[in-house]
Amino acid sequence: MKEQTPTNSVRVLGTETEFGIASRDASAMDPVSGSFAVIGHYQNLAAPTAIWDYENENPLVDARGFEVEGERERPNPDYNRQLNKVLANGGRLYVDGAHPEYSTPECS
């Protein structure tokens, strides 16, 4: 007999919000550079050594599970800090592909 999860069980949730960047002159717009600029304007945490931990994810693998062509190394700490901002609330503001993205901390 299959064990069922009670409907009143605690579930851990989090959300992600993807943002777009627009420019009046689309031919002069580089979305990746624009995303870096947006993320770069967010103030760093007081702990300068805080960086995103890639232990449980591989930034070189796409959503389909295939390794991205070209890149072969995980981001070094300085580049990691440009791509990712670990927030005081436990969330993350980061560059995902060519757009800024915000993920909330997980909560129950």
Q: What is the per-residue pLDDT for 101? A: 92
Q: Is 97 part of any domain?
A: yes
Q: What distance in Å separates the CA atoms of residue 36 and residue 99, rounded to the nearest whole number? A: 9
Taking alpha carbons only, the member of 87, 77, 103, 105 closest to residue 19 is 103
Q: What pLDDT does 19 receive?
A: 93
Q: How many independent structural domains does the chain possess?
A: 1
Q: Which residues does 62 contact at the CB level (< 8 Å), separation at least 6? A: 68
How far apart are alpha carbons 24 and 19 in whole angstroms?
A: 17
Tell whether 34 is covered by a domain: yes
Q: In which region does residue 65 sit, left (phi positive, over 0), alpha (psi from -120 to 50) or beta (all else)?
A: left
Residue 33: name the closest of 101, 88, 98 by CA. Answer: 98
pLDDT in tens, the chain (108 residues): 677 766 777 888 899 999 998 888 878 888 888 888 888 888 766 655 667 776 666 666 766 777 767 666 666 777 777 788 888 888 888 888 888 999 998 887
Residue of 30, 53, 62, 96 marked catalytic: 96
Would residue 42 count as lying in a domain?
yes
**What dihedral do alpha carbons 54, 58, 63, 67 form, nearest 10°?**
160
Residue 43: the pLDDT is 76
Parent domain of 87: 16-56+68-103
Q: What is the pLDDT of residue 27?
A: 83
Residue 10: inside a domain: no
Is 38 a domain residue? Answer: yes
**30 catalytic per annotation:** no
The reply to whether 3 falls in a domain is no
In this structure, is residue 61 part of a structural domain? no
Predicted structure pTM score:
0.67
Residue 5 placed within a domain: no
